[in-house]
Amino acid sequence: MHYETDRGPVKAVDGVSFTVNRGERFGMVGESGCGKSTIAMTILQLLRDPARIVTGRILFDGVDLLRLSERDLRRLRWRSISLVPQGAMNALNPVARVRDQIGDAIVVHDSEVSPRLLSERIVDLLSAVGLPERTAELFPHELSGGMKQRVCIAMAIALNPRLIIADEPTSALDVVVQRVVAQTLSEAVERLGASLILIGHDMGLQAQLVDRLVVMYAGRVAEIGSVREIFKAPTHPYTQMLIASLPSLRERRRLRTIPGLPPALLDAPPGCLFHPRCRHAGQVCSRVVPELRSVNGSAHVAACHLFEEIAGR
């Protein structure tokens, strides 16, 4: 996915491939600007100019979403793939009751539903996200941040989708509220038997919630592995530094920092995009773009020329 600009294309997402299995909770992490949210918008094809999908395929149950008509896409969005967008709770309509907001999300995609069934469905959805029935009659300003975010989750699961994409669903919430909302989301996904793509930069939250995750760097995949592989045996130097920069509660130590900044994508360096910040970088790193390679023949993959050597050091 490129953004066309006067100064040439910005490769916001460049050659990214990953698979999300049925019923799996899949995390997507990386610094701001690494392409996480862009991937979500690409899957749903909610991109606007100057964004352009250049090549690739997005297979959902074997169907390439990039070849569907806008009409078919519209049927698929929300019914099959739903989104909890970033800052969703601030996007609730301030002058509509919770009942009507959830109701609209259902009616737009399923106009046949009877008013009585709709009412029952709304109450069911609210209880699925742990909100009392009376919440339906309230306006967004009468809800706390955690309650608003749960309403957004209720809307996302309203049509029993098979995939839910949640973009930073708990940012700007207090730690206890964050925990409640995260667990609500996780349980809702499990009850539906749906898959989840959890986008966020909070590594702690990912460790708590997902089964597998992809680490993105500057629009490319750095590493994909199970949550244990990524946290216990990070292989790409970027993932290693990211893990080392996290504060722990076990020991007090100076946090490792990652020197330098992510590259400007208009003026990206040749070879591995991380090499200017990597302390292991060798000559090959500044010349050749690394492919994703398997770590020890497993499904754990990393895009680094030197990971065997680094592990041996």
Partner 1 sequence: MTALLEVREVTKRFGGGLFDKRQLTALERFSLTVPSDRAIVTAVAGESGSGKTTLARLILGILSPTEGQILFKGRDLRHMTGGERREFRRQVQAIFQDPYEVYNPFYRVDHVFDMVIGNFGLASGPEEAKQLKSEAVEVVGLRPDDVLGKFPHELSGGQRQRVMVARAFLARPRLIVADEPVSMVDASLRALILDVMLHLRDDYGISFLYITHDLSTAFQVSDDICILYQGTVAEVGPISGPIREPKHPYTQLLVGSIPLPDPDDTWQGRVDLPPDDRWSSADVGCRYRARCPFAMPHCAEASPPLYEVGANHFASCYLYEGRPEFATVAVVAT
Strands across the sheet containing 51-52:
8-11, 2-5, 51-52
Considering only residues 14, 167, 202, 223, which one is a binding residue for partner 1 as defined by CB under 8 A?
A: 202
For partner 1 (CB under 8 A), the number of binding residues is 44
The end-to-end CA distance of the chain, in Å, is: 37
- Per CB under 8 A, which of residues 89..148 are in contact with partner 1? 130, 144-147
Cβ proximity to partner 1, 110 vs 187, nearer residue: 187
Pick the piece of the chain touching partner 1 (CB under 8 A) from 35-43, 67-75, 173-181, 288-296: 173-181
Question: Would you call 22 helix, strand, or coil by DSSP?
Answer: coil
CB of 132 to partner 1, least distance (A): 11
- Closer to partner 1 by CB, 95 or 249: give it: 249
Binding mask 26-65 for partner 1 (x = CB under 8 A): -----xx---------------------------------
Give yes or no for residue 253 binding partner 1 (CB under 8 A). yes
Phi-psi region of 205 (alpha: psi -120 to 50; beta: other; left: phi over 0): alpha
Residue 180 and residue 186 in contact, taking contact as beta carbons nearer than 8 Å? no
The answer to whether 66 contacts partner 1 (rule: CB under 8 A) is: no
> Hey, which residues does 294 pair with through a beta bridge?
301
* 240 near partner 1, rule: CB under 8 A: no
Q: Which tokens is 140 given?
A: 């967004």
CA proximity to 206, closest of 229, 235, 227:
227
- Position 247 contacts partner 1 (CB under 8 A): yes
Partner residues linked to 166 by β-bridges: 84, 198
Q: For residue 229, what are its two tokens?
A: 């592989």
Candidates 46, 59, 117, 255: give the one binding partner 1 (CB under 8 A). Answer: 255
Instruction: Compute the distance between CA of residue 47 and CA of residue 34 in angstroms, rounded to an integer.
Output: 16
Q: Which residues bind partner 1 (CB under 8 A)?
A: 31-32, 130, 144-147, 174-180, 182-183, 201-208, 227-228, 231-232, 241-243, 245-249, 252-258, 261
